[in-house]
Amino acid sequence: MSEGRCPACRTAKTEVHHTQANYTPHILIASVLLIVLLAVLAVHGNL
């Protein structure tokens, strides 16, 4: 991978890092919601 010294490379590199950082909380929230939903379904399914 290139060092990214030119402005275009620097911009592309920052966008990639920002994109990865922005997806992480969404995946975390989605995972927590899915786990909670499965827990609620499991509890109500056993009643």
pTM (two decimals)? 0.47
Q: What is the pLDDT of residues 36-47, one digit of tens each?
A: 999 999 998 865
Domain count, the chain: 1
pLDDT grade for 18, boundaries at 50, 70 and 90: low
pLDDT grade for 22, boundaries at 50, 70 and 90: low
Residues 15 and 7: their CA atoms lie apart, in Å, by 12
